[in-house]
A and B are shown apart, each in its own frame.
Chain A
């Protein structure tokens, strides 16, 4: 790895000030599970790493039945999968955090870092999008909030401007009779990069769908929201025909490529299959809430 400097500020103001001073040559640093590999391989170059793990706001995981979830950008994935509150209220997001890498990786990697890395195949990003999460960003010009679906702009690039950092993810409180789910396809049992990943969140009114969001990963240059597929479910009973239609519509929202992990054709097929399955799982969970 080329020479770098390292600083570990303890407040947001300090972090922003350091990031601003170094501009494009600095990058927030969290679990390191992507960036250390990228710096070593020369795929990313940065002169200054600003470790954000010592900033309190980034380490906060708090849930309020009315206000919802505040998930600090640096909270490691392991804390999410070990949290009863997360498993109960956001099982889909918890599943996504739980299937990233090994325990060694989950102890370091964070959902915020997964988002900032900007990979099209990030597991937790579609799960966040399905839940309607927003990203709270601070920078030299103050604060702003961005819906997670608008955060990643192209592979490896995000809306973060020089000097800015992701503070936390804000997830609405689940409405009554709602839940979420996340599934991905990989050719082995554990520890691989998604060939396709699908997250869904549903609210039911009796046996009909009141609200739905479906998001997919690894099927386009960035994780995508399949709004048409989700909107068509509103007011519908989630029967086989509705699931079939939702799967087809989700697949139509995809623009995948052929690569070493799978062909575009295979991804389109799997996108439909996983969409049907996550919707069914989310619906089963929603009935119990």
Chain B
């Protein structure tokens, strides 16, 4: 076993220090070292997107990034979506639209969708499908997922308008 390296990163808003081996992927580190098992292991080749996390605001496959590369980075996993037990609007919309069955792909879809909506609060269906192209679902199919994301976007926009009106 090779020497472990001390890594300091911000994970879901908290500064975290952890030890990992250089050969360990960020996904292994999240799951096995930090016990954040929301991110899932699917293909391990960057095809399925089940391990998607945000690194400095950009979606990446955590199976194709080393844990040691997290040094100094800001990482958001699916565990970072709900705040104090209150689900993120995307999570609520996934439930409402029954946009999941087995759930293995869901954390990755949620993170990719969050990344899209953070950047583009008014996506077209085409843009939603493009942003989710790196995430595979083998049971629900994509329509319900796309509808849930579009609905979440509409919700976020109307909340924004509500806030603006209240000001």
Chain A: residues with CB nearer than 8 A to chain B?
Answer: 1-6, 8, 31-33, 36-37, 39-40, 49, 51, 78, 101-105, 107-108, 190-191
Extra contacts, 8 of them, besides A33-B46, A104-B46 (Cβ < 8 A), are A2-B23, A3-B22, A5-B22, A6-B5, A32-B69, A36-B25, A101-B134, A108-B61
Which residues on the A side are within 8 Å of B64 (C-beta)?
31-33, 36-37, 105, 108
Q: How far apart are the CA atoms of A105 and B62 in the complex, in Å?
A: 10
Q: Is the CB of A3 within 8 A of B69?
A: no
Classify chain B's interface size.
20 to 34
Q: Contacting B131 at CB < 8 Å: which of A3, A5, A8, A103?
A: A103
Q: Cβ of B112 < 8 Å from any Cβ of A? A: yes
Q: How far apart are the CA atoms of A207 and B51 in the complex, in Å?
A: 51
Tell me the B23-46 residues at the A interface (CB within 8 Å). 23, 25, 44-46
Chain B: residues with CB nearer than 8 A to chain A?
Answer: 1-3, 5, 21-23, 25, 44-47, 49, 52, 55, 58-61, 63-66, 68-69, 71, 112, 115, 131, 133-135
Which residues on the A side are within 8 Å of B66 (C-beta)?
6, 32, 36, 49
Q: Is the CB of B68 within 8 A of A104?
A: no
Q: Is the CB of B46 within 8 A of A101?
A: yes
In the complex, the chain B residue whose C-beta lies closest to that of A53 is B69
Closest beta carbon of chain A to B125's beta carbon, Å? 15
Which residues on the A side are within 8 Å of B69 (C-beta)?
8, 32, 51
With A4-B22, A37-B64: A105-B46 Cβ-Cβ less than 8 Å: yes
Q: How far apart are the CA atoms of A1 and B1 in the complex, in Å?
A: 11
Closest beta carbon of chain A to B71's beta carbon, Å? 8
Which residues on the A side are within 8 Å of B5 (C-beta)?
6
Residue contacts A-B, CB under 8 angstroms, 20 given:
A3-B1, A3-B22, A4-B2, A4-B22, A4-B23, A5-B22, A8-B71, A32-B64, A33-B64, A36-B25, A37-B45, A37-B64, A39-B23, A49-B66, A103-B112, A103-B115, A104-B59, A104-B60, A107-B59, A107-B60
6 closest cross-chain pairs (CB), A and B: A102-B134, A6-B22, A3-B2, A107-B58, A1-B23, A104-B134
Closest beta carbon of chain B to A156's beta carbon, Å? 17
With A32-B66, A36-B64, A103-B59: A3-B23 Cβ-Cβ less than 8 Å: yes
Q: Is the CB of A191 within 8 A of B21?
A: no
Which of the listed residues A6, A32, A103, A105 has the most CB atoms from chain B within 10 Å of its own CB? Answer: A103
Q: Contacting A37 at CB < 8 Å: which of B46, B55, B65, B135?
A: B46
Closest beta carbon of chain A to B126's beta carbon, Å? 12
Q: How far apart are the CA atoms of A68 and B29 in the complex, in Å?
A: 42
Which of the listed residues A104, A105, A191 has the most CB atoms from chain B within 10 Å of its own CB? Answer: A104
With A33-B64, A103-B59: A3-B21 Cβ-Cβ less than 8 Å: yes
Q: Contacting A5 at CB < 8 Å: which of B2, B25, B46, B47?
A: B2
Which of the listed residues B2, B22, B25, B71 has the most CB atoms from chain A within 10 Å of its own CB? Answer: B22
Which residues on the A side are within 8 Å of B52 (C-beta)?
104
Q: Is the CB of A49 within 8 A of B134?
A: no
Q: How far apart are the CA atoms of A78 and B63 in the complex, in Å?
A: 19
Closest beta carbon of chain B to A187's beta carbon, Å? 15
Q: Is the CB of A6 within 8 A of B59?
A: no
In the complex, the chain B residue whose C-beta lies closest to that of A29 is B66
Q: How far apart are the CA atoms of A5 and B22 in the complex, in Å?
A: 6
Closest beta carbon of chain B to A96's beta carbon, Å? 17
Closest beta carbon of chain B to A9's beta carbon, Å? 13
Q: Is the CB of B22 within 8 A of A105?
A: no
With A4-B22, A40-B44: A32-B65 Cβ-Cβ less than 8 Å: yes
Q: How far apart are the CA atoms of A5 and B66 in the complex, in Å?
A: 11
Q: How far apart are the CA atoms of A4 and B44 in the complex, in Å?
A: 18
With A3-B1, A6-B68: A103-B134 Cβ-Cβ less than 8 Å: yes
Which residues on the B side are within 8 Å of A103 (C-beta)?
59, 112, 115, 131, 133-134
In the complex, the chain A residue whose C-beta lies closest to that of B54 is A107
Q: Is the CB of A105 within 8 A of B65?
A: no
Q: Is the CB of B45 within 8 A of A102?
A: no
Q: How far apart are the CA atoms of A105 and B47 in the complex, in Å?
A: 9
Which residues on the B side are within 8 Å of A102 (C-beta)?
46, 49, 133-135
